[in-house]
Structure 1
Amino acid sequence: MSEPASAESQHFATFRDFYPFYLGEHRSAVCRRLHVIGSALVLVALAAAITTRNPWLMLLMPVIGYGFAWVGHFFFEKNKPATFTYPLWSLMGDWAMFFEVVAGRRPF
C-alpha cells in the first residue's frame, strides 16, 4: 500500500481542487476537534480585542489557531500541515471546515 501524497507533491489549480485533499489530511476526529476549538478561540480573541479595544490581543490569534491545529497534525494525525505548502488555501480550508462542523454538515 502506498503512502498518501503529501501537499508538496500535489499541484492544485483552485481551492475547490485543494479542499478534498485538505479534508483528507483531517481524518482524525481529535485533529478536527482541535482545529474547531482553535478556530473558535481565535474568534474569542478577536471579540476580546474589539470589545477591550486592545489590538495586542490579535497577536494571540495565529498562536492559538495554529497551535491547536499543529498539535492535531503532529500528535494525532501524524502528518505535516498543508499550511507549509498552501498557506492561504489551508487557512480557507480551516474556516470552511469550521463552518461545516458548526452547521452540522461535517462530524465534530
Structure 2
Amino acid sequence: MNFRNRDEFWAFYVSQHSKPSTRRWHFVGTLSGIFFLICSLLFSWWFLLFVPFSGYGFAWYSHFFIEGNIPATFGHPIWSLLCDFKMFGLMLTGKMDKEIKRLGKRPILQVF
C-alpha cells in the first residue's frame, strides 16, 4: 500500500489501532523502550538490546492478539515508528481520543 504523505499514513495508522487496549499496549511498549534507552545511557550499553524487544514486543502482541491485524511496521517501518511516537505523545497529553474523533471512522485496511 502506497501513501502520498504522512497525513495519509497517520489516518491508516490510527485505523490499525482502533481498540483502546491496542493503544495502551503500544504506550507501554514505547515507554519501556524509552526506559531502556535511558538505562543504556546511564548504566550500560547492554540495555540497548532491550529497547526493540520491549517496544516491538508489546506492540506486536497487541496487534496479533487484541487488534487482530498485521503491524504496520512490517510494511512501513520508519513511518510506523514516527507515528508511534506521535500516538505516544497524544496519549501522554490526553489528546488521542480527540484525534480519533477528528479522523472519524476509517476502514481498517491490511498492510499486505
TM (normalized to structure 2)? 0.83
Residue in structure 1 matched with residue 95 of structure 2 by the alignment? 105
CA-to-partner distance for each residue in 1:8-61, whole Å, 9 max, x for gaps? xx3102212100100000011111000000100111101111111x11111110
Q: Which runs of 5+ in 1 are unaligned?
A: 1-9
Query: Percent sequence identity over matched residues?
Result: 37
Tell me, what secondary structure is at the counterpart of 1:104? coil
Alignment of 1:1-108 (within 5 A): 10-52=1-43, 54-107=44-97
- Runs ≥4 residues deviating over 3 A: none
Tell me, what secondary structure is at the counterpart of 1:95? helix
Q: Within 1, Cα distance between the matches of 2:72 and 2:42?
A: 33
Residue in structure 2 matched with residue 4 of structure 1 by the alignment? none
Q: Which amino acid aligns with 1:101?
A: M
Q: Within 2, Cα distance between the matches of 1:16 and 1:30?
A: 23
Tell me, what secondary structure is at the counterpart of 2:96? coil
